Amino acid sequence: MSIVVGDKQRFLPQGDYHYQIHYQVKNAFLREGDSDLLIWNVTGNHWPFEIYKTLFSLKLPDIAGNPFSEIDLFTGEEGDTYRNGRILEDGRIESRDPFYREDFTVLYRWPHALLGNAPAPQTTNIFSHLLLPSMSSLLICFPSLFLACGWLYLWKRRPQFTPVDVIETDVIPPDYTPGMLRLDAKLVYDDKGFCADIVNLIVKGKIHLEDHYDKNQQILIRVNEGATRNNAVLLPAEQLLLEALFRKGDKVVLTGRRNRVLRKAFLRMQKFYLPRKKSSFYRPDAFLQWGGMAILAVILYGNLSPVGWAGMSLVGDMFIMICWLLTFLFCSLDLLFARDDDKPCVNRVIITLFLPLICSGVAFYSLYINVGDVFFYWYMPAGYFSAVFLTGYLTGMGYIFLPKFTQTGQQRYAHGEAIVNYLARKEAATHSGRRRKGETRKLDYALLGWAISANLGREWALRIAPSLSSAICAPEIARNGVLFSLQTHLSCGVYTSLLGRSYSGGGSGAGGGGGGGW
């Protein structure tokens, strides 16, 4: 062991040294009835060197002799008393034997009357320490304050729109694509929207899907203009998709979990629909990023502040993040199940506000029962727990109550819902559903792409040719990698069971030049 005194370049020679350490403490004793207590860990814990001897005493001001009514020693293993120490007649305490990686703790008790003028010990309420910041830790509330100001700014700029009713229609505009329907009615352009656009090109005869059963693969083949009777002019979105798919040739092999061609085509279509998405939706995803940065700022400040540095614990932060995640989780669940309008339903506001509070409170109490005081961050700045929780609550609640649509988005959503209702009515009319005057029970296969985009298509899938039914699931499976596997199963799970039935249900032919055999 080397002890450095003064200059770092000057080292004391090896030998035995005696030290006198004077402590001056504040608010260090406890009050119990008519007595005052002091618990003093004299040596500290787990030193990586041997302490040969310790000798110490406690002196009360202006009091001579040994005024203590009780002195207890705690040495050695946890729970041992008087094993390696003794109390001398003058009140001093010394160790008997050298000790290594052990602590030497003493408890003093004396009558309160001896120090009658001493102020009462200041106690900290556990909940006030966790929930209320002190003057020295007000900075920990700034991320929540900035987040609230950002929400107020977005709320002040919110669009003032008139709600649009969903009217009945039986016409799909000629300049409308399945991808647009997916974005307008289902609020996202995802795997299913991309698949619906591809199926629409197959239905139009611009692409042919060919099955190679011997090689266990499928191939998308671009159909030449002269090889099809359908020479309709393609829409810009359809032309872009066709060019993106067949940029390097007239064939695309649907194989592997990471098909780069289909991946790039999907990204190009997402970019194409991005302006439409921005003009339809107001609720910014950037607000969620602000919430993530706010919680990160709170954790960094709490751990890197002088108070929190000694109590820094990654495991503890993981525990306390549960309350933030619970808040955000229930806000997300409300977003998932709320009605698709500009904001959550009025009859869901109460549960939206208070369910995260209740569940986080239950988690808080459960962690207290199982973890104990370690969870409460006595070494963290005051208000650390409430700052973490408040950022999650503001992020989730603020995101929910921001309007979802612009006025244009409201109109597009109403139009998309009208088309979805029309497709659902068409599908229901094929068996025992309600039919209007002039409607037949015959399915129009030209509507297949839109049916897929609207999460419909059951009757279409049951009656379609095998070669075309494969197109409903194959592009999604081939395009997606590991990151999209969950979404793939969610998107295709409904159709997997249905499409399996179409192979044995008397499909007509193996597919000719437009998906053929109908």
Based on the domain organization, do 393 and 421 belong to the same domain? no
Residue 43 sits in the same domain as residue 108: yes
Give the pLDDT mean for 78-106.
76
Range with lowest mean pLDDT among 243-252, 276-285, 337-346, 409-418: 337-346
Same domain, 143 and 291: yes
pLDDT at 341 over 90: no
State whether 491 and 414 are in the same domain: yes
At residue 152, the pLDDT reads 92
Q: Is 56 part of a structural domain of the chain?
A: yes
Q: What pLDDT is recorded for position 240?
A: 92
pLDDT for 443 equals 63
Q: Please check whether residues 294 and 276 belong to one and the same domain.
A: no
Please indicate, yes or no, whether residues 144 and 189 belong to a single structural domain of this protein.
no
The C-alpha atoms of residue 35 and residue 113 are separated, in whole angstroms, by: 8
Q: Above 80 in pLDDT, residue 339?
A: no
User: pLDDT-based confidence at 269, cuts 50/70/90?
Assistant: very high
What's the pLDDT score for residue 354?
65
- Domain membership of residue 184 (yes or no) is yes
Pick the residue with more confidence: 184 or 375? 184
Pairing of strands 55-56, 93-95: antiparallel
Q: What's the confidence (pLDDT) of residue 516?
A: 27
The answer to whether position 51 is within a domain reads yes
Q: What is the pLDDT of residue 438?
A: 56
Question: Quick one: what percent of the chain has pLDDT higher than 90?
Answer: 6
Q: Based on the fold, state whether residues 197 and 258 are members of the same structural domain.
A: yes
Q: What is the domain extent for residue 50?
A: 30-115
Domain co-membership, 259 together with 348: no
Average pLDDT over residues 239-249: 89
Can you tell me the mean pLDDT for 80-104?
Answer: 77
* Average pLDDT for 269-278: 91
* Domain final position from 401, 427, 451: 401
What is the pLDDT, as a whole number, of residue 362?
67
Q: What is residue 199's predicted lDDT score, i.e. its pLDDT? A: 82
pLDDT of residue 123 exceeding 70: no
Residue 497 has pLDDT above 70, yes or no: no
Is the same domain home to 254 and 291? no
pTM of the model: 0.56
Q: What pLDDT, on the 0 to 100 scale, is given for residue 6? A: 60
* The pLDDT value given to residue 283: 80
Residues facing 207 on adjacent strands: 222
> Which of 7-11, 64-68, 85-89 has the least mean pLDDT?
7-11
Query: Do 338 and 391 belong to one domain?
Result: yes
Give the pLDDT mean for 154-171. 83
The average confidence (pLDDT) of the chain is: 70
Identify the pLDDT of residue 159.
Answer: 81
Of 153, 176, 157, 287, nearest in space to 236 by CA: 176
Six-digit token pair at 344? 């959550």
Instruction: Tell me what pLDDT residue 367 has.
Output: 57
Domain stop point among 86, 115, 144: 115
Residue 488, pLDDT score:
36
Does residue 2 lie in a domain region? no
Residues 6+ apart with CB under 8 A from 116: none
CA distance 399 to 329: 12
Is residue 12 one of the residues assigned to a domain?
A: no
In 89-214, beta strands by DSSP E: 93-95, 99-100, 103-111, 207-212
Spatial distance between the Cα atoms of 120 and 94, rounded to a whole number of angstroms: 30
- Does residue 392 surpass a pLDDT of 50? yes
Domain count across the chain: 3
Q: How far apart are CA 247 and CA 30, in angstroms?
A: 80
Per-residue pLDDT at 149 exceeds 90: yes
Lay out the sheet containing 30-32: strands in order across. Answer: 30-32, 35-41, 103-111, 70-76
For residue 1, tell me if it sits in a domain.
no
Higher pLDDT, 476 or 110: 110
Please give the single-letter amino acid code of residue 287. Answer: F
Q: Which of 370, 401, 432 is the last residue of a domain?
A: 401
Q: How far apart are CA 235 and CA 221, in angstroms?
A: 19
pLDDT tens-digit map of 5-16? 566 676 767 777
Report, as an integer, the average pLDDT of 132-161: 86
Which residues make beta-bridge pairs with 74? 105
Quick check: is 19 in a domain? no
Residue 145 shares a structural domain with residue 183:
no
* Mean pLDDT lowest among 35-44, 60-69, 204-213, 336-345: 336-345
**What confidence category does residue 138 fall into, taking pLDDT thresholds of 50, 70 and 90?**
confident
Residues 304 and 389 in one domain: yes
- Residue 353 falls within a domain, yes or no? yes
Round to whole Å and give the CA distance between 217 and 212. Answer: 5
